[in-house]
Amino acid sequence: MGERLRKLGILAISRADSIDVLLKRLAEIGWVEGKTMEVLLPEPVRDAAGLERHMRELLAAELDIVIAQTRPAVMVAVKATSRVPIVMGAFNGDPVKEGIVESVARPGNNVTGTFYHRETGGGERVAVLTDLAPQVMNVGILLNPDSRESIALAEELIAAAQAAGLAVSRMGTRGLDDIDGLFAAARDAGVGGVVATTGAEMFQSRAHVVRAQDRHRLPTVMGSIGFPELGGLAKLGPNVPGLWEKMASAHIDRIFRGENPGDLPLIALDRFELVVNLATARRLGLTVPDTVKRRATKLVDQP
């Protein structure tokens, strides 16, 4: 008989690219789904009740590790178990100040993983919009009004916009079907460009935002990975798949091999990446300054 398969559970809010990146990297270092590792991935859900239900199901499967995708999943996982190793997938906040871990270098208990401070880059997202569209005087802030985290992030964006002397309009979205209407109403109210908060709901809305951006000619900057590649103007936000890729060897492999998660240092992201779509800028009648091009992590030129 061969060695038993390790069990990896993923408590997810969205089926994001980061999951595929992680599984690919794990396979490269020897943890292959169906051969050396079993992956349990319940259907992603956004509400707390659904996350709690899935967490109970994962714990019943006697996992070796649970990966908690984003902040809400981390909160559910930490509350549910102090025994099963938890790896945080890009926790948005300060896990030390919030009492989830003891320190970055030695997190303690059963938790480790990756994180980024939500304040990192928030104000810069407003600056990117005004650099690309200097005519904008009224900024729309796209947020989820049912999420405390989204509301908090929106307040930071609003503060940055007001500090720059801009008027602000809140654009609360509760689902994909209302995005076009929100952009239409914002345009009628004098909004000249849009900046979005981050979060699973924003990631899921990227294609709808692109269509609304183009239809209503409102240049938009999001924090969600892949937004410019879909035709959005720009993305300034965390490289979450990059953090998940690092988790493979820094955390998951070592826990599978018997190390204590509380002894494995957290990995922090301290800089957001900027991606700009040059073709979208031209389509919206904008000129991308050389200063923005030099600052960009990546430039894409595709419709």
Across the chain, mean pLDDT equals 92
Res 1 pLDDT > 50: no
Distance CA 68, CA 257 (A): 20
Res 148 pLDDT > 90: no
What pLDDT score does 142 carry? Answer: 96
* Encoded amino acid at 26, one letter: L
Q: Which two tokens stand for residue 101?
A: 């871990």
Among the residue ranges 117-121, 161-165, 249-253, the one predicted with the least confidence is 117-121
Query: Nearest 10 degrees: CA dihedral of 80, 82, 88, 92?
Result: 70
Please state, as a whole number, how many other Cβ atoms lie within 10 Å of the Cβ of residue 146.
13
pLDDT per residue over 88-103, tens digit each?
A: 998 988 899 999 999 9
Domains and CATH numbers, the chain: 6-117+239-269 (3.40.50.2300), 122-237+273-300 (3.40.50.2300)
Distance CA 56, CA 52 (A): 6
pLDDT per residue over 246-268, tens digit each?
A: 999 999 999 999 999 999 999 99
Measure the N-to-C terminal CA separation of the chain; round to a whole number of Å: 53
